[in-house]
Amino acid sequence: MMKRILGIILLVLCVVPLHQVLAAGDPNDMAGSKDPDLFSRMPGFYIYNYQELDFNRYDFPVSPGKTKAMEGRQYHVDYYANEGIKLPSGLQVTRNYMNAAKAIGGTTVYEFEDGGIYYVTLKVVKNNAEVWALVQGASNGMYQVNIIEKQLMNQDVVANAESLAGSIEETGKAAVYGIYFDTGKAEIKPESEPAISEIVKLLKTNEKLKLYVVGHTDNVGGFDSNIKLSQARSAAVVTALVNKHGIAAVRLTPFGAGPAAPVASNKSEEGRAKNRRVDLVAQ
């Protein structure tokens, strides 16, 4: 049944806009179309059909005979090969997308071949969005990408200064969530201010308190790069506390632990989200 449905989808070339994988735009692109932000395209291909919907639902294959319904902003792109190029195989198309997703911390959920058409379901969590993509590649000069971009919930409720103080008193440290950075970046996002404000209250309530501000990451990416990133993020938090809120720099020491001290398994996005945190450790 899935074979028939997906085969019809590919032949009819439905519509839903999305993100790119390997090359830039093309003069033959459909008017108003674009590659999705997450991926570029295969070289020598142009956008034949494109659609973007603010909210929709799509069923992604996740295992033999099973799908997972995802809701959010939907993109659909149909790519056709320009005349004269050497056509890639369907497997080559899907493997290119798999490698592109892996390079930015994404995972391959499921891949399979059905009737000469290759399919791969991909998942990428980036910039507070959970992105699912289904790439369908054939060897006949066309392929299709369907994407659902699901915005993840912001941590609007953060631990207050009193609970942070209690945790430090009891265990010597307190985990702070709600401090946000773009993927691979160390600039604090504006929506982090509620969490930062509670740290300020904590420090102003107890003026003798000195803290190690310890940045943590998940295990996506290289160890050395995560250590460097976590150090830069912890330093950014200290800079914000000192420059914006008047906390004495001598009371704060930044430190980057990278992925070395997880509090949950990195095998799931939920676990990785818990590991991306800032710890306040009493000196």
pLDDT digits (tens, 9 = 90+) for 126-167: 766 789 999 999 999 999 999 999 865 555 556 788 889 999
Instruction: Give the pLDDT mean for 243-256.
Output: 96
**142-151 and 45-63 beta bridge pairing:** unpaired
pTM of the model: 0.52
CA distance 159 to 163: 6
Using DSSP's 3-state secondary structure scheme, residue 224 falls into: helix
Q: Which CATH number fits domain 161-282: 3.30.70.580, 3.40.50.300, 3.20.20.70, 3.30.1330.60?
A: 3.30.1330.60
Predicted pLDDT of residue 184: 86
Predicted pLDDT of residue 198: 93
Both ends of the chain: CA-CA distance in Å?
A: 62
pLDDT digits (tens, 9 = 90+) for 69-101: 998 889 999 999 999 999 999 999 999 999 999
AA letter at 2? M
Domain extents in the chain:
2-151, 161-282
CA distance 277 to 152: 16
Q: Determine the angle formed by the axes of helices 193-205 and 161-171, rounding to 10 degrees.
A: 60
Question: What does the angle CA 202 – CA 206 – CA 209 come to, to the nearest 5 degrees?
Answer: 90
CA distance 118 to 174: 48
Q: What does DSSP assign to residue 250?
A: G
CA distance 52 to 32: 11
CA distance 99 to 95: 6
CA dihedral 20, 26, 30, 36 (to 10 degrees): 10
Give the chain's mean pLDDT.
87
Q: Is the pLDDT confidence value at 29 over 80?
A: yes
| β-sheet with 66-81: strand ranges across | 45-63, 66-81, 142-151, 129-137, 117-126, 107-114
- Residue 240: pLDDT band with limits 50, 70, 90: very high
